[in-house]
């Protein structure tokens, strides 16, 4: 391949970059092995190189470990159980923004169903197993046993583009974690419980919860981590214009 001598050179090992990206997956079972603070700091420093509109860097990250992590898990699990017992309580827990559409259409609903039943099928959870579904969903609120939980917020004054910026920051963080032998699971499941989470982490009234994330070392012996979601081929989502 002919290269322009004035162009920036490629990274030394592009295959490793590709492997970190394609090896990222939503891990749903973690080992209790602690993650050193210096490693977390490094990952956040790398992730902070994400682009953002006019370099606003709108993300704010709260790292929960130990007692703070455990206490938040107990609070949100209790609220989750209360809603199961009294569905009317769900009205008290609203997301700050619509992560999912109010009306599902194909092909998105088809992919969602494929994902849900693929995971539940692997775990032996049938369509009518409400108790098992509840228990599996509640695994979110224990960070899937990961020793590190992250909560990511932005200032409410920011526009919708800041969600895009923060998404790129999160992707950087997940890929960097994979490169260092760690795994993650981004979690929008926490969003409805912001009224519990934000005071717990000390966030200001001007902050909006974007999502949570579990981070740690994957438990490769747990069968849930054999679940890998498919991707549509490039030809299905790409239009070439020349």
Q: Model confidence over 27-62: pLDDT tens digits? A: 999 999 999 999 999 999 999 999 999 999 999 999
> Does 68 reside within a domain?
yes
d(CA 203, CA 210): 12
N- to C-terminal Cα separation, the chain? 22
CATH of the domain at 64: 3.40.109.10
Write out the residue range of the structural domain in which residue 230 sits: 15-90+142-237
125 CB-side CA count, 13 A: 16
73 pLDDT more than 90: yes
> Does 85 reside within a domain?
yes
d(CA 151, CA 200): 11
**What tens digit of pLDDT does each residue of 133-188 get?**
999 999 999 999 999 999 999 999 999 999 999 999 999 999 999 999 999 999 99
> Does 21 reside within a domain?
yes
Token duo for residue 20? 């970190």
Q: Binning pLDDT at 50, 70 and 90, where does residue 4 land?
A: confident
> Does 160 reside within a domain?
yes
195 CB-side CA count, 13 A: 9
2 pLDDT more than 70: no
Sign of the C-alpha dihedral, residues 157, 159, 164, 168?
negative
> DSSP secondary-structure letter at 30?
B
d(CA 98, CA 83): 20
Determine phi and psi for 232, rounding to 5 degrees. -70, 150
Token duo for residue 13? 């090992």
5 pLDDT more than 90: no
Single pTM value for the model? 0.94
- Whole-angstrom CA distances from 165 to 115, 188, 213 are 26, 16, 16
pLDDT for 7: 87
> Does 174 reside within a domain?
yes
> Does 96 reside within a domain?
no
Sign of the C-alpha dihedral, residues 52, 6, 17, 180?
negative
Are 171 and 26 within 8 A, CB to CB? no
> Does 159 reside within a domain?
yes
Token duo for residue 205? 């009234």
Q: How many structural domains is the chain composed of?
A: 1
């Amino acid at each position: 391949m002919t290269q322009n001598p004035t162009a920036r050179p490629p990274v030394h090992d592009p295959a490793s970059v590709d492997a970190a990206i394609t090896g990222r997956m939503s891990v749903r079972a973690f080992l209790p092995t602690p993650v050193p603070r210096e490693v977390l700091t490094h990952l956040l420093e790398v992730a902070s190189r994400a682009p953002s509109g006019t370099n606003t860097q709108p993300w704010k990250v709260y790292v929960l470990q130990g007692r703070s992590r455990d206490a938040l898990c107990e609070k949100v699990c209790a609220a989750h159980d209360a809603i199961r017992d009294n569905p009317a309580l769900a009205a008290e827990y609203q997301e700050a923004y619509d992560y999912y559409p109010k009306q599902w259409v194909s092909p998105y609903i088809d992919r969602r169903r494929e994902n849900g039943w693929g995971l539940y099928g692997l775990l032996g959870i049938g369509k009518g197993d409400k108790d098992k579904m509840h228990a599996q969903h509640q695994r979110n609120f224990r960070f899937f046993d990961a020793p590190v939980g992250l909560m990511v917020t932005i200032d409410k004054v920011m526009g919708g583009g800041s969600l895009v910026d923060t998404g790129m920051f999160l992707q950087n963080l997940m890929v960097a974690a994979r490169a260092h032998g760690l795994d993650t699971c981004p979690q929008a499941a926490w969003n409805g419980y912001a009224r519990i989470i934000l005071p717990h982490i000390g966030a200001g009234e001007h902050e909006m919860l974007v999502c949570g994330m579990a981070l740690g070392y994957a438990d490769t012996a747990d069968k849930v981590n054999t679940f890998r979601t498919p991707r549509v081929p490039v030809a299905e989502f790409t239009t070439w214009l020349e």
